[in-house]
Structure 1
């Protein structure tokens, strides 16, 4: 069997896993499914593309490829700026929409429907500003290097996998070893009790939005580097993101990443052996199977 689909699945799975972490944190702490989360991936990629283009125009040397990679220093710098700007966008969305609904005592379904509306608005703004034509961080052609017989990967793909592994480890350590992370876990377990013991739930909510948006921005940029950038890229990844969040267990960061990799591999193998037209169905089938057979996910706890 050819091993190449495994590499493609790992790359796509790393992107799905990073995006799914934001979904699982939002759901476990804010208690609603944020369907606008996929748009944060798109906005992160386009913000980075814009900043990278401006830097390249001002300082052309920043566009010179870094060693074996297809991009120059303009992209890492743009990534940092995009993370900040995407986090600010998420905080604005919470202040203008979701926060007001929470304070008004809106039920969960209202928040979910509001997230649908926010997703449509954010996606249409991107399409209006950048058109629907695909964009690229670089048009440089990369040749895959043989890692194992039948398994090749470009330097960009290897970077995506490594960056995904480093980030999920950092987030896990943040949640388990820092005061802010422990506060987030406490609010996830019992918001009322967390408030009674003096935890600032508003600060926790801000942290959730910042962390989720930052990871979504990185996932969008990673996708833009190895594939392409489109206004609908986040929308296309939305079902795999939710499938990974539920499969991994709501609230579990390692679970979201592992489930994302599993879904990425399943999609790649489906394309290889069944056909590309069935790729979109894989996440749906996995999602339904998990909800029927193990609703708490791989690392989740069963309801008492």
Structure 2
């Protein structure tokens, strides 16, 4: 079964405001894989589980048409509010039943979403809609983020962050297992495509206010569950973490910019020519 945890309006708004979108160089790796295995021009890309559309819009310059799909009306409402690319549209549907014809899609992506799907059903559906030589790209990031600030001790900052992550572990969905990267490895190993690629360490660095970093973590499903179950305790944990980080940084404002390094991994696969 698929899991639906990001459908509230407030959660959708925080998703748009705080979630980190893949860097251009990461998107380019997906496009380079597609070009290596399939000649253009490229007509249609589909971004499944698109959320509020941060990743969807990054595909726009490479395709005639890009469609973001998501199960959540609230997420798509936010995506539409920020829709500025004329060739990007959005559709509400589940990941396992996509409204596209057989062999019609050049590239299908799922950015930080595949782990929530009914994975075997989704992979079957991706095979159905991809063109021969069309490509599938599944990417996600790990919790192994690294925070740094000027001459401050990064180890001290990251020890505080790890305490925060550990406090959220009891609220992590059991569906994800101990580490969601294993779900992607399993999919990579199960795909019967001869042309596929696995990468488990692509670092993306972003500068952002400390408040945005905290908002990013607070948009995680584990924190949102904690917040629903015990709002006061979740709020205290967040505020204590902010204060500890600012104390180490010797600053008084959450608007102070920090550098956040995020480690991505991805699976790329090319559908073979049909016999």
Q: TM-score, normalised by structure 2?
A: 0.25
TM-score (norm 1): 0.23
Q: Tell which has more relative contact order, 1 or 2 (C-alpha 8 A, sep 6+).
A: 1
Which structure's residues are more often strand, by fraction? 2
* Bigger share in helix: 1
